[in-house]
Amino acid sequence: MKRLGLEYVDLYLIHQPLGDYYGAWRVMQEVYREGGARAIGVSNFFPDRLVDLIAHNEITPAVNQIETHPYNQRRTDQELMREHRVQHESWGPFAEGKNNIFSDPTLSMIGAAHGKSVAQVILRWLTQRGVVAIPKSVRRERMEENFAVFDFELTPANMEAIVSLDSDSSSFFDHRDPAAVKRLSEAQRPT
- Listed in sequence order, the DSSP H helices in 34-135 are 47-55, 75-84, 105-114, 118-128
Residues in the interface with ligand NAP (CB under 6 A) total: 22
Q: Does 139 bind ligand NAP (CB under 6 A)?
A: yes
Q: Does 136 bind ligand NAP (CB under 6 A)?
A: yes
Q: Does 43 bind ligand NAP (CB under 6 A)?
A: yes
Q: How far apart are CA 159 and CA 157, in angstroms?
A: 5
CB 88 within 8 A of CB 131: yes
Phi-psi region of 179 (alpha: psi -120 to 50; beta: other; left: phi over 0): alpha
Stretch of 18-26, 94-102, 107-115, 180-188 lying at the interface with ligand NAP (CB under 6 A):
94-102
**Toward ligand NAP, which CB reaches closer, 65 or 72?**
65
Burial class (CB in 10 A: 0-12, 13-18, 19+), 162: buried
Q: Does 166 bind ligand NAP (CB under 6 A)?
A: no
Stretch of 54-62, 90-98, 108-116, 147-155 lying at the interface with ligand NAP (CB under 6 A):
90-98
Cα angle 138, 143, 146; round to 5? 135
Q: Does 111 bind ligand NAP (CB under 6 A)?
A: no
**Toward ligand NAP, which CB reaches closer, 33 or 98?**
98
> Strand, coil or helix: what is 167?
coil
Q: Does 96 bind ligand NAP (CB under 6 A)?
A: yes
The closest of 13, 191, 142 to 89, measured between CA atoms, is 13
CB of 70 to ligand NAP, least distance (A): 11
* Binding interface with ligand NAP (CB under 6 A): 15, 43-44, 65, 91-97, 102, 119, 134-139, 142, 145-146
